[in-house]
């Protein structure tokens, strides 16, 4: 039996995710070998992602390694994977979603400040816009790097707090205080570990049939199709989160926001899932028809 070569970014969180995929494979008696690869997004930690003009900046180098057959699979945070994958690559499995939420982490000297008083460090357009929707006077700062790097910057620099994916904190077992934020809607597919492979590698796809988590797959397909329908290849402040119960009833919440947070179009629907309808596209079209098309055009102009 072949040993499955797993490509991953070399950050502590990415390596945790790769080991989790390896554990799932080893439980089915497959051999694994983890190969860290430095991504373009990890090489430049000063420039905000939205100014770099590259789709899939954290996945591009792993895509190349896959296509060159240097690795058999690549492991990613699914929210980093563009909705349009390179030719002959596909998402062959997703692990069960664990922690989809965004959380606020303050520096020790800012514990008593009100939310509207905080200086916030985040390079995410979504997090900035969603925060500004409620606290429009907020001063924002750019921050890049892995979880540990950003925590150190939080203590060393002049801002008061930053925003993290809860998955990053919990998966790293970090003992830090955080606050849940009802004002936020997660990035599409946040909190999900995904496996990509070459579409023509039938053996690898067979190995992962029992790893792919059905309920998570249904939800992230809805979220990513919603994103694809709205985006049209443009980075924008978009949130999407779907939950499904044992009766295949789905609750979906989505939001498209202007960059400054002043305009917001939201959707909150409950429906019964089936495998014929593209619910993400249907929901995305509703937002576009409710003013989202004009808003997306304005966002694209601002980001040019």
Q: Which residues are catalytic?
A: 80
CB 201, CB 88: distance < 8 Å: no
Catalogue the E-assigned strands of 23-112.
32-36, 73-77, 89-94, 102-106
Catalogue the E-assigned strands of 138-281.
140-141, 161-165, 179-180, 193-198, 238-244, 249-257, 264-272
275 CB neighbour count, 10 Å cutoff = 7
CB 234, CB 303: distance < 8 Å: yes
- Spatial neighbors of 245 by CB under 8 A, at least 6 apart, are none
Phi-psi region of 53 (alpha: psi -120 to 50; beta: other; left: phi over 0): left
**Tokens of residue 238, six digits:** 């978009």
């Amino acid at each position: 039996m072949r040993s499955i070569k797993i490509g991953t970014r070399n950050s502590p969180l990415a390596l945790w995710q790769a080991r989790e995929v390896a554990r799932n494979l080893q439980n089915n008696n497959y051999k694994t070998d983890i190969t860290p690869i430095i991504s373009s997004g990890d090489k430049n930690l000063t420039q905000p992602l939205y100014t770099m003009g590259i789709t899939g900046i954290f996945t591009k180098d792993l895509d190349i390694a896959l296509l060159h057959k240097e690795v058999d699979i690549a492991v990613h945070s699914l929210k980093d994977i563009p909705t349009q994958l390179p030719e002959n690559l596909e998402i062959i499995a997703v692990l069960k979603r664990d922690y989809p939420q965004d959380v606020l982490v303050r520096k020790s000297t800012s514990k008593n400040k009100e939310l509207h008083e905080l200086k916030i460090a985040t390079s995410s357009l979504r997090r900035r816009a969603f925060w500004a929707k409620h606290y429009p006077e907020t001063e924002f700062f750019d921050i890049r790097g892995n979880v540990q790097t950003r925590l150190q910057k939080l203590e060393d620099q002049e801002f008061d707090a930053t925003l993290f994916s809860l998955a990053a904190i919990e998966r790293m077992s970090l003992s830090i205080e955080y606050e849940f934020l009802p004002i936020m809607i997660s990035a599409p597919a946040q909190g999900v570990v995904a496996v990509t492979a070459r579409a023509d590698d039938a053996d690898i796809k067979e190995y992962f049939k029992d790893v792919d988590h059905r309920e998570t797959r249904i939800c992230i397909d809805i979220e990513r199709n919603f994103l694809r329908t709205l985006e049209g290849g443009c980075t924008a402040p978009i949130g999407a989160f779907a939950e499904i119960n044992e009766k295949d009833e789905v609750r979906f919440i989505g939001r498209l926001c202007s960059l400054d947070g002043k305009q917001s179009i939201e959707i909150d629907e409950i429906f019964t899932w089936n495998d014929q309808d593209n619910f993400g596209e249907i929901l995305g079209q509703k937002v576009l028809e409710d003013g989202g098309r004009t808003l997306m055009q304005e966002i694209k102009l601002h980001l040019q």
